Structure 1
Amino acid sequence: MKLGYFIALALLSAPALASNPLLPDLSTDCTLQQSAVQSLSIKGQGLAFNGTRFGDVGTYTYLLAEANATVSANDPCAKSIVDLANAADEHGQVAYRFDVVILTPTDPAKANGTLLYEVVNRGRAIAMAVLQDGGANDLYNAVRPSVSADKVVTGQGAGNGFVLNQGTTLVWSGWQGDRPQSLHGETAQISAAQPWPMLGMSLPVARDRAHGNRTLEAFVQDEFIANDATSQLLGTYHKRAADTSARLTLQRTPQSPALTVPEKFWRYTAGSAEAEGGNVTGKGYGFVTIDRAAVRADASLLAGLDAGSDNGSIYHFSYTAQEPKVMGLGFLATRDLISFLRYAKADSLGQPNPLAGRVQTTLGTGISQSGRYLRDFLWQGFNTDAQGRRVFDGMLPLVAGSRKTYTNYRWAKPGDFSLQQENHYTPGDQFPFSYATSTDPLTGRTDGLLKRCLAQATCPKVIQYDSPVEAYGARASLLVTDGAGHDLAIPEEVRLFYVPGTTHTPMSLSRAAETQPDFSVDLTPPATAISASPGANVSSSALYRALLVNLEGWVKQQRTPLASQYPTLSDGTLALASAQPASLGMPDLAALGLGFSGSYNHLSVNDEGVLPTQPSQRFYQVYLPTTDGQGNERGGVKMPDVAVPLATFAGYSLRRRGFAEGQQNGLNSSQLAFALTPATRAAADPRQSVLELYGSRAGYVKAVDQAVDGLVDQQLLLDGTVGGVNDAADYKARARLQSQQAHFSQLP
């Protein structure tokens, strides 16, 4: 995109920006003190998972509730939440409400004192499903997963019951202000037909209080990328002002010139604003219908296409939006809810706190968007409650990389985040990146994710987990480097774990075995796929469980924290990438179908105080993991399928011709099987064959067993002593299942 286009849009929104800043005031270590959950009203309760019992703990009870909360716009720290003063009533109060789900042992005596809060991902419960190898958004079913030498069963609902077998209380709540509530009605229940309520919140609209409560407006931009031949609807995230102009543009990449799409090729339809932002039905804020065939046929738009196709091309719809919501309340809601559940006896209406006396330890976790939320929550100072107490004792964010979120802004879109091709200039990925306090080499600012909680003595213990997708897509190296080529020390309150070869969302062993029973045979992507390379199917949910056990023990002073295992510059497991795979020590596998371009989601210093974000030409040095001669990354915790590999597992996926060729393919990875024997190895394949690596099927199984035992010894894999889960035995069974596959059985 041309810089002039950014400047033009910024000037169009300048009047609103002059009197209403887009960003929170984080210039001081300021804690909101005049805020609280005023009521927690239970809308329904019953036995979870259809009455399934979990070991000695027994059954669990679910509570479906709605929280009502307030905060004073006269609080000295009110400016730490964007537009708080612009949403106050005549008494200076800002009221909002949000959905809450609680899962706790039916017998209070069986609760173990730990509250595990999962940050929902767009209203969904994903982390519990990963921790228990079960099913997402399901409090009704309970099917335990299993892997044996001759059978695979994938989990549903409660899965293996890992968390529930321990008596842990789980809590979820709505925090994303553009997701509608599900629990505002009189009653609610869990059933086979309704196993999970999609959680949301109801937020006030900000108005320009300094100018007679006039409607706030700005020229904003929403994005659409069609990764298939039929999609044609671009959903908007804000209410569009009536009778105002709009513009649709097309570009091949985020840095390409933006070409104006003629108005005759698109049509805007207003919605009722009942559904979430970006919804493409009549219940959303509105949507744009694009005549993509006409776009492709217009010679003036040819530069926005790839090989004549707009698959993968970027459409931007720019329009005058109005009535922004106070989205930063999504952080305050979580802070005040956890504080209430931990410390309060009753709410202001006299309704008892359902967890009163049960909570001694609080942990927070979340995957992807939810992991980024936890990093942002911590950085913005929300781990200190209104009374100056610590909110979370421990945090376990997953696959967040160096990013935060686009939440506490005017015109926020918490669901959006920066990738190389998609939503590239989305706010929420600027300095600071690391937990350590450092000085930014490009802006001169000094900051860190722990800076505020250190000043307030409220820092949690933190374990962060990242996959290779975060190395290429989320600049994970900036957690351990300063952006200018130097390693950063990891603070004593933090441990970092990098897991090579794995997927963005940790996959269960049973799901991986079901998807790809034989790692020595590549799956074939459909002809319509964005990338010609199949995605990696390496399981790692077992590591998530082990890290949670270590975090809880660390917080309770019952376990020694594990040592970080993350790539660094000093040990040679990070390097600057060029267009040649050898720059990372990687073999050239392009002739076999796994290309390499050295591309990643680069990062510049961007001005987030204008709409849309204005980039600069000042770029951070981002490093990528180095590999061994087989093409597998050297640093981090190697799960058994990577420690004893049958394929090259790459942390990137490249778009193929007709889909913005050569650009990164979102949150996807790749894998390419090794040849089984030297005789079957292609001439262009420099990697050793399976036979050369392990000698026989029995040699492979023995190597896996040794790798599993090594992970158990490092406390990175559970062996049945915690939560009723024996991941070590399951991985050994998976190796035997692999050894019996038809193609693999050609080995001696």
Structure 2
Amino acid sequence: MAEWTRAALAAPAIALCAAAVAPGAAEAKITRIEIAKVEPAFGGKSFGSVGAYERVTGKAYGEVDPLEPGNAVIQDIGLAPRNARGLVEYVTDIDILRPADRSKGNGILLLEVLNRGRKLAFNYFHVGAGGNEAELNALAKPGDLLLMQQGYSMVWLGWQADMLPGAGRLMLDVPVARHPDGSPVTGVVRSEFAPTAPTFVQNLSSGWFTTMTHRSYPTVETDNRKPLADGFLPSLTVRAKEQEPRVAIPNTEWSFGACPNGGEAKPSDTQICLPAGFQPGRLYELIYRAKDPLVMGLGYAAIRDFGSFAKRAAKDDAGTANPVYRADNRAIVIGASQSGRLIRSFLYLGFNRDEAGSQVFDGAMPHIGGGLMPLNVRFSQPGRAWGQQVDHLYPAYEFPFSYARMHDPITGRRQGLLDRCQETGTCPKLFHTATSLEVWEGRQSLGLTDPMGTRDVADPASVRTFIFASTQHGAAGLPLPTAEPFGLCQQQPNPNPHTYSMRALLTALTGWVRDGVEPPDSIKPRIADGTLVAIDQVRFPAIPANAYGNVKRPAVRFIGQGNPLHALDFGPDFRAGEQSGVITREPPTASPRSYGVLVPQADADGSDIGGLRSIFQRVPIGTYTAWNLFRAGRFEDGFCNFNGSFIPFARTRQERNDAHDPRLSIEERFPSKDAYVAAMRAATSAMVAERVLLPEDARALVGQAEAEGIRLAP
């Protein structure tokens, strides 16, 4: 182990021992809130019996006791500066929507964990919501506002301390870790660049999902040709695909600096210049020695502390009133993708118990968030994700995978995601929701089975799992592209929505949390009924090239590939069992043995059989898949990140025969408008009975079919 690593690990213990002999530390919590603005929301619109809403913005100031057992897990908490009371401070932005008359709300605080600074809840629960990042955060295109109609109070706060300001992002200010003598903490960092357009410069934090919105960890030395005292030199490599060998780019051909036009670089400790140019469809991997890590794990504490404050504190220490307080409040935490993974990690690390020992969130709904979040890691890069081609080697899918406790034969550990909250009696009622893409591309099957994929595993009593059949990570917006190339993919993306299912499930979760109403059973593909299988067992039909609707599409290429998972070794100081610690080995080494990743079985159309089938799959106008392939020049034939496919049916029997398409045409499925409307009415009625579709949504969907007839396009 390198000397810098030993020093970094020893420092927290020294600091904690010193603090232990000091007088008793003060209670740590949200100590102060500052309300900057209170204004009418949504133009003063009234929502039935709930009435009008207000929007409250400001800041919350928190303090964390590094000696409290629930905080000891926070990486580098012992290297953070302390105030006079021996506590570590942070400041977070807050943004709140509340009924103007709080007594008219439904008594539920809905705290959404932001996704890379973005508010996404309205997109998942409101029909017609959307917009760019700034519009999302300004709530400028909110859709039908179901959450307000139902009376929820919405809470957002900053939790990701490496976000840069802009586009209305909520920020979290946390300290930089430093050694007790004031010297900088350093360590190895791996940055993966996958540009979608030619460029000469990348921020050291830039990646497929992080772009220019994340703070970079500075290099300890801007001269990339100068070895450090221990002989370390940074390296830059390139390859066409994740699975191909790395090709070294000599240090004479790049530098730490900025060269926007490819000319002479101006030195910079947070940027990299490649005069030959970074090319799209290539993976560039920089490994360098960085300094000044943020104590990123305080993001967990901020969510815990403000969640607890919002739920049960009438006022702060100075007497400022809690802007969402009700004596009977219940709290549900929600988040999608990155934020869903954070919720799972939040629970796993025990943060649903506040410093007073009370449960914070009564309910949780992590969406499209299989895996875990490496927030609590020195030089954490929480904006990175997982993928078959991009971000494949970042910490994201370490065991444990499931909420149930089980044994992992590869690592030898026995764990479950709810171990800590079960020990303290602080587990929430939980709905785990995911799309089928997470099963195909994101190894979500490991949350449904044992680690080797040999048997189904039942959810704990407090958990329900819903896998949305034949859906991609986020439903494609309409209209779809009508000519090749279809973005970066070979086929048109998948518009099969999550929204209607999410609305019904949140309503059911609220009834479970607030009223004790038993929720629907889990709906997921299973090994036992043949709906969850090994990839080589999938029976996918041969779908030919076609020009249905005057859109030319290539034949669908099902090549039977998945996204295998091996246990990754990031070095002896990384605690994989806690998704925490210090990474010292980059790139990580992979174990030879792989986990048993499975995928959904397909029906005769190529759509998923198992899982929660949407109305658009039950009354289909085409095939919806949860996978798509990158096009030529862009990691060709690898999984096209987060994209599924939509391949429409022929309109007539003759058209499908001419194309040699084995799938029935729309004409053969729905001979008339009346037949289509009847199919919609029967399917929506069944879904309402299953409690996976709201009655008002069923009426709207049937009404749309009656007015518009058979859908011929998404």
TM above 0.5, yes or no, is yes
- The corresponding residue for 1:241 is 220
Alpha-carbon offset, residue 109 of structure 1? 2.4
Q: Is the 8 A contact 1:472 1:600 kept in 2?
A: yes
Report the Cα distance in structure 2 between the residues aligned to 1:21 and 1:470, rounded to whole angstroms. Answer: 36
User: 2 CA distance for matches of 1:324 and 1:616?
Assistant: 28
Residue number in structure 2 paired with 1:28: none
Deviations 1:377-421 (A, max 9, x none): 1111111111111111001111112x1112010010111111111
CA distance 1:540–1:73, shift in 2 (3 Å): closer
Q: Equivalences for 1:647-726 in 2 at 5 Å?
A: 647-681=622-656, 682-719=658-695, 726=696
The corresponding residue for 1:363 is: 332
Alpha-carbon shift at residue 352 of structure 1 (Å): 2.2
Which of residues 411, 425, 430 in structure 2 aligns to 1:462?
430
CA distance in 1, matches of 2:386, 2:3: 27
1:638-690 CA deviation, whole Å, 9 max, x = no partner? 11111121211111111122112111111111111122223112454222222
- Give the Cα separation in 1 of the matches to 2:135 and 2:49: 22
Contact residue 78 and residue 85 of structure 1 kept, 8 A: no
TM superposition score normalised by structure 2: 0.86
Q: How far off its partner does 1:107 sit?
A: 1.5
Q: Which SS does the other structure have where 1:80 is aligned?
A: coil
Using a 3 Å threshold, how does the CA distance of structure 1 residues 405 and 21 change in structure 2: closer, same or farther? farther
Residues 93-492 of structure 1 correspond to what in structure 2 (within 5 A)?
Answer: 93-133=87-127, 134-135=129-130, 157-180=141-164, 197-209=168-180, 212-229=181-198, 233-236=202-205, 237-245=216-224, 246-269=234-257, 286-292=270-276, 310-357=279-326, 359-401=328-370, 403-484=371-452, 485-492=454-461
Structure 2 contact 338–383 (Cα < 8 Å) conserved: yes
Shift of 1:335: 0.3
| Aligned partner of residue 215 in structure 1, secondary structure | coil
Contact 2:304 2:352 in 1 (8 A): yes
Residues 684-721 of structure 1 show CA distances to partners (whole Å, capped at 9, x for unaligned) of 422222222333343233212211111111111112xx
Q: Which ranges of structure 2 fall in alignment gaps of 5 or more residues? A: 14-24, 206-215, 225-233, 260-264, 546-553, 575-583
Choose the corresponding residue for 1:56, options 31, 49, 74: 49
User: Over residues 290-340 of structure 1, what are the superposed CA-to-partner deviations in whole Å (9 max), with x where a residue is unaligned?
Assistant: 3456x7xxxxxxxxxxxxxx5322001222210000000000101010111
Change (3 A) 1:505 1:531: closer
The one-letter amino acid paired with 1:498 is I
**How far apart, CA to CA, are the structure 1 residues paired with 2:194 and 2:528?**
39
Higher normalized contact order (CA 8 Å, seq sep 6+, divided by chain length): 1
Paired residues of 2:200 and 2:273 also in contact (CA < 8 A): no
| Distance in 1 between residues matched to 2:324 and 2:496, nearest whole Å | 38
What's the secondary structure of 1:337's corresponding residue? helix
Identity %: 32
The separation in 2 between residues aligned to 1:232 and 1:595, in whole angstroms, is 35
More deviation, 541-550/527-536 = 527-536
Measure, in 2, the Cα distance between the counterparts of 1:692 and 1:250: 51
How far apart are the structure 1 equivalents of 2:98 and 2:495?
Answer: 33
State the partner residue of 1:15.
3
- Normalising by the residue count of structure 1, what TM-score does the alignment of the two structures yield? 0.82
Distance 1:122 1:97 in 2: 18
Deviates more, 1:121-130 or 1:533-542: 121-130
1:40 maps to 2:33: yes
Identify the residue that residue 618 of structure 2 maps to in structure 1: 643
Task: Give me the whole-angstrom Cα distance separating, in 2, the residues matched to 1:499 and 1:74.
Answer: 43
In the TM superposition, what is the alpha-carbon distance from 1:344 to its structure 2 partner?
Answer: 1.6
SS of 1:269 mapped into structure 2: strand
**Range with bigger deviation, 675-684 or 468-477:** 675-684
Task: Give, in whole Å, the separation in 2 of the partners of 1:411 and 1:597.
Answer: 37
Q: 1:311 to 1:138 in 2, by over 3 A?
A: closer
Partner of 2:72: 79
SS in 2 for 1:411: coil
| 8 Å Cα contact 2:237-2:247 kept in structure 1 | yes
For 2:221, the aligned partner's letter is A
CA displacement at 1:255 relative to structure 2: 2.9
Summarize the Cα distance change of 1:282–1:551 in structure 2 as closer, same or farther, 3 Å threshold.
farther
> Could you list the per-position Cα deviations for residues 535-581 of structure 1 after superposition, in whole angstroms to 9, with x for gaps in the alignment?
01112201111001100101123422101100111111111113xxx
Aligned counterparts of 2:9 and 2:556: Cα–Cα separation in 1: 46
Which deviations, in whole Å up to 9, do the C-alpha atoms of 1:165-192 show, x marking residues without a partner?
A: 222211000000101467xxxxxxxxxx
Contact 2:223 2:256 in 1 (8 A): no
**Contact 1:394 1:555 (C-alpha < 8 Å) held by counterparts:** yes
The residue aligned with 2:563 is 601
Q: Specify the SS of the correspondent of 1:157.
A: coil
Change (3 A) 1:265 1:737: farther
Cα separation, 1, equivalents of 2:67 and 2:333: 30
Residues of 1 paired with 2:90 and 2:266: CA distance?
25
Shift in alpha-carbon separation, 1:636–1:740, aligned structure 2, 3 A: closer
Tell me which amino acid in the other structure corresponds to 1:611: R
Deviates more, 1:409-418 or 1:253-262: 253-262
Rounded Cα–Cα distance in structure 2 between residues aligned with 1:284 and 1:624: 45
Give the CA RMSD over aligned residues.
Answer: 2.8
Which amino acid in structure 1 is aligned with residue 633 of structure 2?
G
How far residue 208 of structure 1 moved from its aligned partner, in angstroms, is 2.1
CA distance in 1, matches of 2:203, 2:436: 30
Offset at residue 732 of structure 1 (A)? 1.9
In 1, distance between residues paired with 2:507 and 2:372? 25
Q: What per-residue deviation string (whole Å, max 9, x for no partner) do you get for residues 52-101 of structure 1?
A: 22222221111111111111223345430000000133753211111111
2:528 corresponding residue in structure 1? 570
The answer to whether the 8 A contact 1:223-1:315 is kept is: yes
Instruction: Label 1:743 to 1:287 Cα distance change in 2 as closer, same or farther (>3 A).
Output: closer
Structure 1 stretch 320-329 or stretch 587-596: which is displaced more? 587-596
Shift of residue 129, structure 1, vs aligned partner: 3.3
Please tell me whether the aligned partners of residues 367 and 505 of structure 1 are also in contact (alpha carbons under 8 angstroms).
Answer: no
Question: What CA distance in whole angstroms lies between the structure 1 residues aligned with 2:47 and 2:535?
Answer: 49
2:62 aligned counterpart, secondary structure: strand
Describe how 1:503-518 pairs up with structure 2 within 5 A.
Answer: 503-506=472-475, 514-515=478-479
Q: Could you tell me whether the CA contact under 8 Å between 1:48 and 1:140 is conserved in 2?
A: no
Contact 1:40–1:347 (CA<8 Å) still a contact in 2?
yes
Once the two structures are TM-superposed, the CA of residue 740 in structure 1 deviates from its matched residue by 5.9
Moved more, 105-114 or 128-137: 128-137
Q: Indicate the residue corresponding to 2:600 in structure 1.
A: 625
The structure-2 alpha-carbon separation of the partners of 1:77 and 1:391, relative to structure 1 and needing over 3 Å to count, comes to: closer
Q: Letter of the aligned partner of 1:661 in structure 2?
A: E
Which residue identity does 2:186 align to in structure 1? Answer: E
C-alpha separation between the residues in 2 aligned to 1:738 and 1:352?
51
Do residues 542 (structure 1) and 500 (structure 2) align?
yes
Q: 1:76 to 1:458 in 2, by over 3 A?
A: closer
1:524 equivalenced with 2:482 (yes/no): yes
Gaps of 5+ in 1: 1-10, 26-31, 143-155, 183-195, 272-280, 296-309, 517-522, 720-725
